[in-house]
Amino acid sequence: MADKNREKGGCFRAGCLTAVVAVLLLAGLGWFAQQWGNRLPGRFVLRVPVSGAIDERSPDAASLPLGGARQPLSLEELLTILDRARADKRVDSVLLEIDGLGAPAAKAQELERSIAELRKSGKKVTALLDTPEDKDYRLAAACDSVIVRKGSWMMLDGLKAEMFFFSDPLKKLGVSFQAAQWKKYKSAVESFTRSSPSPENLEETNALLDDAWADYLDSVSRHRHIDPAEFRNVVDSLAVLTPEKALALRLVDRVATERQLEKEYEERLGKPAGELFVGGREYLGATGGMRPKSSGDRIAVVAITGMIVSDGAGGVGEAEVTDVSTVKQALQTALDDPKVKAIVLRIDSPGGDALAASTMLELLQEARLQKPIVASMSGVAASGGYMVALAGSKIFAEPLTITGSIGVFSLKPDLGGLLEKTGIRREVLTRGRFADAYTPFKAFDDASFRKFVETAGTIYDDFIAKVAKGRKMTPAEVDAVAGGRVWSGKRALEVGLIDRIGGLADAVQEAQKLAKMDAKAKPELLYLPARKTWLEYLLAGDASELASALTAGVLRQSLGELEPLTRLPGTKTARFLLRTEEPQVLALDPVEVTIK
């Protein structure tokens, strides 16, 4: 029998048995290592690094060996860590190491709210800064005390929004673009069609910058108990200052080296530093990770992050995207689980493919017939990202969440000039009036361009109708606040595009209420789509899937070094243009605004 199985190539082969045993052994060792490492001291200081852009979710690769430790904590993880620390008696205090923060202001606002709740629980929160800039300092000011490392400096020089325009240099290469821009505030096309911003582009960018600036001044002055005009004078007159100068101006509480701070903790708690501090990721793993800890009723948090794309449109190592099949699977998991009583749709997306966003909305509306859905908008929920939020019975956003951008555009490249410059000849045989109209190697003629624009207009009208139905407004009322206009969350509330100002915790409470769950019990959260751990990959025994995940993790890590380039305005739109030969109608935010 054994010989017959060997002939058939089954798992009685020595190589196959060895592989199975190796996988089980590694899994067992990994489990024991994880359990051993998850033991926490009876009393410790929770040391949480906060840095970078703060992605809404960590990629799958963050949980893989040799990859997770270097991956910055996501907003999802940071909020979970701070929430668990509130009721954890082992946590003496929290030390936030804030460095190089590049997150949107809306995410900083949500973290500030979480810090405030932690302080209310009696836990002291200290911010440790190393050469901080405005975004670092803004978050640090929400803590009980602010310490700046001795020997560093502070660069508090204000906020700015940069816009880049590629039309003129591209023309020199023989490349130009034709755009169906519906309507004038839908300014994402301008990076490719203009050499300077339109009045509408400047209007909405200035409005966002005004809101962010006012909020920054108010937040710091309120937390630090100083006059807003006094703080603004520091920014306008000093900009760069030493920690000692900042101490004299009451902007910080202490100037110290890291070792001095560690010694103070050691003296107070009577332990050496090696036994005193627990890192944020270590604490998260020791307290159950991102999975529900009990078997009771729960609320599913379904994330739509990054660009919205059609199935299979994302690539390995590419920036975060969400496709239709991923949302469909996540919703099915939530609907099939009898313990899930409601769904919170968590959105951090500038939009993307208009048809994909429309399909996601349809799936969500069907799911809402079975279980309540509440939408929670994070850093950005614009265009297609806002469209999917319409599935929520209530929509929550932070005051500075980039919201709205109700509109569409389509952009078609014309590479005819490039072919001419390089001497490439193109011969085309057609049957049908418009067979070659959408090629990227020539411009539209008048009739083709009219059809191009009509398509964008049809999709815009459909978008308006969806918003009117979802927000109980007339199409005319929606059009008055649409046309591609982008709003801060605060202004979006005023014009009726959202229902409440609040973060994920507020949306969870509303979902709990709609599902008629016990108001006194804190519901467990089931985050979807679920992230696989490296141990789960091993136990599944799918070597190809594990290899793909590892490859994606390595690529993301490598591409992270090119982050400044990939964050140039226009790059998101350019990635879409390069996906297919045909022009695409995009429900994408009007301008890639980065306020820093």
325 is known as an active-site residue:
no
Alpha carbon distance 82, 69 (integer Å): 19
CA distance between the termini of the chain: 70
Vertex 517, ends 515 and 522: CA angle to 5°?
Answer: 125
> Do residues 189 and 411 touch, judged by C-beta distance below 8 A?
yes
> Do residues 171 and 443 touch, judged by C-beta distance below 8 A?
no
Alpha carbon distance 181, 184 (integer Å): 7
Catalytic residue among 183, 186, 394, 572: 186
Alpha carbon distance 534, 23 (integer Å): 11
Q: Which helix (H) or strand (E) holds 385?
A: helix 384-389
Alpha carbon distance 199, 181 (integer Å): 15
Place of tokens 């019990």: 521
Alpha carbon distance 329, 311 (integer Å): 12
Q: What is the DSSP letter of 69?
A: G
> Do residues 317 and 559 touch, judged by C-beta distance below 8 A?
yes
186 is known as an active-site residue:
yes
Alpha carbon distance 79, 108 (integer Å): 11
Look at residue 543 and give its three-state secondary structure.
helix
Q: Which two tokens stand for residue 567?
A: 């964050």
> Do residues 181 and 409 touch, judged by C-beta distance below 8 A?
yes
Query: Got the DSSP string for 176-217?
Result: EEEEEEESTT-GGGHHHH-SS--HHHHHHHHHHHHHHHHHHH
H helix intervals, 1-45: 2-8, 14-37
Catalytic residue among 93, 191, 219, 383: 383
Residue positions annotated with a catalytic role: 186, 383
